[in-house]
Amino acid sequence: MALIQPHGSKELKPLLAKEGEKKELIKKAEKLKKIPITSRESGDLIMLGIGGFTPLEGFMGYEDWLTCSKEMVLPSYNSLFWPIPITLSAEESIAGSLSRGDEAALFDVDTETILGIIKVEEKYKIDRELECKEVFKTTEMKHPGVKMVMEQKEINIGGKVVVLSESYFPEKFPSLYHTPFDSRKIFEERGWSTVAALQLRNPMHNSHAYLAWIAIEVCDGVYIHQLIGKLKPGDIPADIRVKAIDALINKYFRKERVAAGGYPLDMRYAGPREALLHALFRQNYGCSHLIVGRDHAGVGDFYGPFDAQKIFQELPEGALKIKPLPLDWTFYCYECGTMASMKTCPHDSIAKIDDNGNYLGGARLLLSGTLLRKLMSEGKKVPKEFSKPEVIEILKEYYDSLEKKEKIELHSKADPNIK
């Protein structure tokens, strides 16, 4: 069987400049007016370049932004399903100096490099609160995704792009960073046609591993797909996370049933809507299924634990070819003596640990990345049931090296174990 088709297209549509044209385009870009772009916009631009956002041809104009925000469809692409706006913003002074048809260089302020060129088709202002209410279901500034939108520049610029660089990702993560062409080649070489993607932004604790093992039972293989763009303060950096995940994969998975890759986006923490975006670009990467567990792409208490599963049930027929693999809340059960889920475990009591990580009694140890980060950052004991010793050792070394440790706040719906 063949791999799943890309979203809205029979083939991937990368926007990277061809090697023979790249040098001349870079010279041209250096003479153009520059639009500084954020790390979120840089990640989006690279995904456009490598075909991860197939079939988009650039940053959205006003009608696509508005209809995407409100209805999750794009008028410019024959009402194609798309769950989150992909937009570019610029300061009013820069936008005012550009006219329709002008070209401008897209300048990554973090790396001080030109990543692409945009041909200006539209300049427009947006209702930021509308986008936040529709996409994030809140306008509270403590939500990191809302903060991202509310702090973007005054004018949005829509237009087609040509991408000149994949930034530092291929060099910094040479064995992990994948384009959709790379992942599809891996799947085809292994003879996989059904592939479940596991979205990760945290080191892999035992619940993540359990989800992956379940997926392998029903699919040809699992693609552990890690975000290697920017996260919020207090989250574990990508290079440490990659090291910890590799340690777990190498010892506890069959090599022919698992592949690991990384993608260059920043987290938006948009909960259900971001779960849909995760599914969409995993389809482009060749995955037939997306594992959707508890609080997928959520943050704090902004979303219900299974809102991301519910939103897939509300999609119109044919919106996506990729299918969700909804899995229940998983945990370690001291009564069962093994990993289990709400569907399989008959023991209802919640296990309690003190703030030093010592077991106090009860059955279900509900595992979360937030709780793991809190225990590690405070130098406290992590229960052995939480994660594999190889992972804990890597994380301990990282946290011990920090001069200043970010304060980690637990949130009630995900971390009821602390007494």
184, 201, 241, 364: which one is catalytic?
201
168-263+269-419, what's its fold? Rossmann fold (3.40.50)
pLDDT-derived band at 417 (thresholds 50, 70, 90) equals: low
Output the six-digit token pair for 319.
């919106």
List 156, 202, 206, 284, catalytic entry: 202
> pLDDT-derived band of residue 418, with 50, 70 and 90 as boundaries?
low
Task: Give the integer Cα–Cα distance in Å for 47 and 43.
Answer: 6
Q: How far apart are CA 258 and CA 366, in angstroms?
A: 25
Q: What angle do CA 364, 366, 372 make, to 5 degrees?
A: 135
pLDDT in tens, 128-183: 999 999 999 999 999 999 999 999 999 999 999 999 999 999 999 998 999 999 99
Q: Is 282 a catalytic residue?
A: no
Assess whether 202 carries a catalytic annotation: yes
Percentage of the chain lying above the pLDDT 70 cut: 96
Q: Residue 195: pLDDT above 80?
A: yes
Under CATH, which number does the domain 19-166 receive? 3.10.400.10
pLDDT in tens, 223-271: 999 999 887 777 788 888 889 999 999 999 999 999 999 999 999 999 9
- pLDDT value at position 416? 61
Q: Residue 383 has which token pair? A: 């229960």
First-residue to last-residue Cα distance in the chain: 51
What's the pLDDT band for 379 if we cut at 50, 70, 90?
confident
Q: Convert the pLDDT of each residue in 334-366 to its tens digit.
A: 999 999 999 999 999 999 988 777 889 999 998
Model confidence, pTM: 0.94
Q: What pLDDT was estimated at residue 412?
A: 53
**Per-residue pLDDT at 78:** 97
Question: In the chain, where are the structural domains located?
Answer: 19-166, 168-263+269-419
